[in-house]
Amino acid sequence: MIEDGLIDEVKNLINLGYNKNLNSLNTIGYKEVLEYIKGKYDYDKMIHYIKRNTRRYARRQIIYFRGYENATWINLSIEKNPIEKIKKIIFEFID
């Protein structure tokens, strides 16, 4: 995110007049960069908070989806061909 220009993107959005209170600017990454730009965080703290908040969000998603008994879990780190596996699951579902 950062290497791809997120800081410049946020600066440009603010310079274009977008309100800092927009929902889209209160998402992971954007809100931490805004705090960095305002001087509340230094660069390392901004990176730390982006990583921490991403982990927390992922954890909430996992907990949410555990509630679906019919969900199919695919471990992308061990699946040899995840795209083919996903296609197979989708086609089985729609047939």
Domain ranges of the chain: 6-69
Domain 6-69 = CATH 3.30.465.10: no
Q: How far apart are CA 33 and CA 25, in angstroms?
A: 9
Mean pLDDT across the stretch 50-69?
Answer: 94
Q: What is the pTM of this model?
A: 0.76
Mean pLDDT across the stretch 27-35?
Answer: 96
Query: Which of 10-14, 51-55, 57-61, 71-75 comes out lowest in average pLDDT?
Result: 71-75
Q: How far apart are CA 1 and CA 10, in angstroms?
A: 11
Contact present, 74 and 85 (Cβ < 8 Å):
yes
The rounded mean pLDDT for the chain is 92
pLDDT score of 95 more than 80: no
Contact present, 14 and 30 (Cβ < 8 Å):
no
Model pLDDT, residue 77: 84
Model pLDDT, residue 73: 85
Residue 82 to residues 73, 87, 94: CA-CA distances in angstroms? 11, 9, 18
Model pLDDT, residue 82: 87
Q: Please, which residues have CB within 8 angstroms of residue 29's CB and are 6 or more apart in sequence?
A: 1, 6, 50
**Using 50, 70 and 90 to split pLDDT, how confident is the model at 23?**
very high
